[in-house]
Amino acid sequence: MLALEVKHVSKTYKNFKLHNISFQLEKGYIMGFIGANGAGKTTTIKSILNLVRIDSGEIRVMGKDLIKHEVELKQELGSAFGDIDFYTRSKIKTLTNVIKTFYRHWDDEAYYAYLKKFNLDENKKIAELSTGMKVKYNLALALSHGAKLLILDEPTSGLDPVARDQLLDIFRELVQDGEISILFSTHITSDLEKCADYITYIDNGRVINSAEKEEFIDTYRLVNGKESQLALLKDKLISYKQNSFGFTGLIHASDLDPALDVATAMPNLEEIMIYCSKKESTHV
């Protein structure tokens, strides 16, 4: 069963457009959603949560149309963004007591367990929380009402490496029984290399690739060659950087001629994102 299906979604703003976005997330898995700032990640996530109205396309959660079944499906959805900018003078306890009334399956026991796990004091005001603490509080809320699909927008961006690693462990634990699925937007690609099962890459409002993580990475190769070899590969390279030794570039594995005597390596997610975002060749 699909936890999430995004089909041909488009949304036009004055200076930006989502172009025919499509991808799907199977139940019980983590999907990393990557792209540079301004690529369309947050607009896509807000569309999935129906916080912005799409111009065309369809979004299905647990097999049901989001627009037609929004109230019902939002009982199944949990979301966490990188910050909280409302009711900042309220205590955590006060805000939680308001939010919990919206959910039929709110679990106080689970909520207090997450407060303890995240070292959160419910008597603190929102304004007193660090960015990392706000993320943890958002997650505690999302995880306490039985959500089956978690939509997380840059949830680890304000956390130190130890706290980030703790959260990644929690994400892995959550999907183990196959009931919870996670869409995890981030620019910290190393986090996804630790925990994601699938990767969807968006650039300038378009999905460039969406696949199982190893398959996604295997689509590309890093190429290192001499300056004299650049002309032979230039038209096939996604982008490249020149240096004192020659050049380094990214190429689709299917476009790589095995007869060409160049050094190749498997890229990581960050390298794929950097080279795919370059648009034009950069001479360094």
Single residue among 184, 214, 244 that ends a domain in this structure: 214
pLDDT in the model for residue 279: 59
User: What stretches in the chain show pLDDT beneath 50?
Assistant: 280-284
135 and 65 inside one domain: yes
55 and 147 inside one domain: yes
12 and 150 inside one domain: yes
Q: Could you give the number of structural domains in the chain?
A: 2
pLDDT in the model for residue 283: 39
165 and 251 inside one domain: no
The stretches of the chain forming alpha helices (DSSP H) are 41-48, 70-73, 92-99, 108-117, 131-142, 161-175, 189-195, 213-218, 227-233, 269-276
95 and 60 inside one domain: yes
258 and 272 inside one domain: yes
150 and 10 inside one domain: yes
91 and 114 inside one domain: yes
231 and 98 inside one domain: no
pLDDT in the model for residue 264: 92
pLDDT in the model for residue 82: 62
SS3 281: coil
Backbone angles phi, psi at 269, to 5 degrees: -60, -40
DSSP run (H or E) holding 240: strand 237-243
Q: What is the mean pLDDT of the chain?
A: 89
pLDDT in the model for residue 271: 93
Single residue among 214, 243, 266 that ends a domain in this structure: 214
239 and 107 inside one domain: no
Backbone angles phi, psi at 198, to 5 degrees: -130, 155
Partners of residue 23 on adjacent β-strands: 6
24 and 59 inside one domain: yes
State which residues form the domain around 229: 219-283
256 and 123 inside one domain: no
How far is Cα 53 from Cα 236, in angstroms, rounded to an integer? 38
pLDDT in the model for residue 162: 85
**Which CATH number is 19's domain given?**
3.40.50.300
Instruction: Give Cα 112 to chain centroid, integer Å.
Output: 27
Global pTM reads 0.88
Single residue among 193, 214, 235 that ends a domain in this structure: 214
164: which DSSP letter?
H
